[in-house]
Structure 1
Amino acid sequence: MPDHTFFERDADQVARDLIGVSIFVRGVGGAIVETEAYDSDDPAAHTFRGPTRRNASMFGPAAHAYVYRSHGLHWCMNVTCGHGAGVLIRAITPDVGVAAMRARRGAVDDRLLCAGPGRLCQALGIDGRFDGLPLDQPPFTFGLREAEPTIISGPRIGISVAVELPRRFCLDGSRFLSRPAGARRPRRSA
């Protein structure tokens, strides 16, 4: 597992360095292939307007989980970097415990099991009870990169502010991304 100081760095660097690191929840997981970085001074961050009951984990120590509901439907998980900064885990390669992932997600194409933060949390069994848990203790375990990955950066997905910032990091060539690197779905204007 990356040690505690790994997470006590700039969110962009942590997001980039998590690509290729394996994450497991109760032994189910795989290599991280897509992340997004958020800082407290970033208008797209949940922490931009300061601490609330919902985002309290982001203002706690680094190396903890920040788990929240997105649009009231899907659980999503960030790893905290301290001081209101964190990294959204967007996608992993489903490597270990694929049968458990399929059972949680239903019979879907393996490419879609963990492609997107909501799908990923459902496949790994992550929900609100994980909010605030330390990443260096069960149910979490991490594995180090097996090789130095080729990483592509670009704009984040699903936000309406600070869209120009290249704070999404993807493993080049991965078929398990939530959306192809560089792809962006147009947002409707209000």
Structure 2
Amino acid sequence: MSPMVEAKTLQARKTVALARWLLGKHLVRRHADGRIEARMIVETEAYDGERDLACHARVGRTARTDVMYAAGGVWYVYLCYGVHEMLNLVVGPRDWPAAVLIRGVEGAVGPGRVTRALAITRSLNRAPACDDSAGLWLEDRGGPLPRSAVVASPRVGVDFAGPVWAAKRWRFTLTRMHHKFLGQAHPLFPLVEREKATPSRLAPTKSARQGESITPPRVVDSG
């Protein structure tokens, strides 16, 4: 059986559940020279419909957001602040505008670094994510993650959405413990071991992303 993720899987599940489910899956890139590179997804964020005031679709259907209304299984790539290409996976049924931002893969922390590392540009906007025709696709190479493998926290940079939507714990990150189990070095920062996740140990830190100051995510059993 092919490990390629099927579009129907991305269309049948709810957005937030899919954002968590994508952790541990592989983002696979075929480069211009023919090389195939696969990196495990280690951080995601969910954006769920026009009701979500942090989602681009909060303004309705526009030339930019039209791709989000497609049936799940295509890429949504846009330019952020005129600098960073951002890779999102459109999910859910047709006409429900939802997407999952790929915030981190092995060796590339932050959405701008993900796209630079894998040479992803807006030329892939609307391209299929569930076959290899465009040179960027998803593969499921293993079983489901245990609840203990995932950290849930608020999304980054969405204070404009107001206190309710900014507080949604829709950012998902693999724990350091899980990567140690896999025998892999974890590229993410900050991360904590589950048994050490106490308020006294979670002092605010400076992120390795674009200089943003954040508080380390609280460990929860998200499912």
The TM-score bracket by the shorter chain reads: 0.7 to 0.9
Identity %: 30
Cα deviation, residue 24, structure 1: 0.8
Count of residues paired in the alignment:
168
SS for the counterpart of 1:121 is: helix
TM-score (norm 1): 0.81
CA contact (8 A) 1:65 1:133 kept: yes
Which structure would you say has the larger RCO, counting Cα contacts within 8 Å and 6 or more residues apart?
1
CA contact (8 A) 2:43 2:173 kept: yes
Query: For the structure 1 residues 158 and 145, does the alpha-carbon distance in structure 2 shift closer, same or farther, using more than 3 Å as the test?
Result: farther
Cα deviation, residue 147, structure 1: 4.4
Q: Identify the match of residue 104 of structure 2 among 91, 95, 98.
A: 91
1:8-27 correspondence to structure 2 within 5 Å: 8=11, 9-26=13-30, 27=36
Cα deviation, residue 28, structure 1: 2.0
Larger helix proportion, structure 1 or 2? 2
Show CA shifts across 1:54-87 (max 9, x none): 1211111210000001111100011001411010
Distance in 1 between the 2:127 and 2:23 partners?
21
CA contact (8 A) 2:15 2:91 kept: yes
- Give 1:158's aligned residue: 157
Distance in 1 between the 2:89 and 2:158 partners?
19
Answering whether residue 59 of structure 2 is matched by residue 59 of structure 1, we say no
RMSD: 2.1
Query: For the structure 1 residues 179 and 77, does the alpha-carbon distance in structure 2 shift closer, same or farther, using more than 3 Å as the test?
Result: farther
- Give 2:118's aligned residue: 124
Distance in 2 between the 1:29 and 1:178 partners?
21
Larger radius of gyration: 2
Q: Where do 4+ consecutive residues of structure 1 move more than 6 Å? A: 181-184
**What amino acid maps onto 2:188 in structure 1?**
L
Show CA shifts across 1:126-181 (max 9, x none): 11100000112221232214344311111111221222100001101153236547
**What amino acid maps onto 1:31 in structure 2?**
M
- Give 1:143's aligned residue: 139
Query: For the structure 1 residues 17 and 132, does the alpha-carbon distance in structure 2 shift closer, same or farther, using more than 3 Å as the test?
Result: same
Show CA shifts across 1:74-132 (max 9, x none): 000110014110100000114xxxxxxxxxxxxxxxxxxx1110110111111110000
Answering whether residue 68 of structure 2 is matched by residue 74 of structure 1, we say no
Distance in 2 between the 1:67 and 1:163 partners?
22
- Give 2:188's aligned residue: 177
SS for the counterpart of 1:56 is: helix
- Give 2:209's aligned residue: none
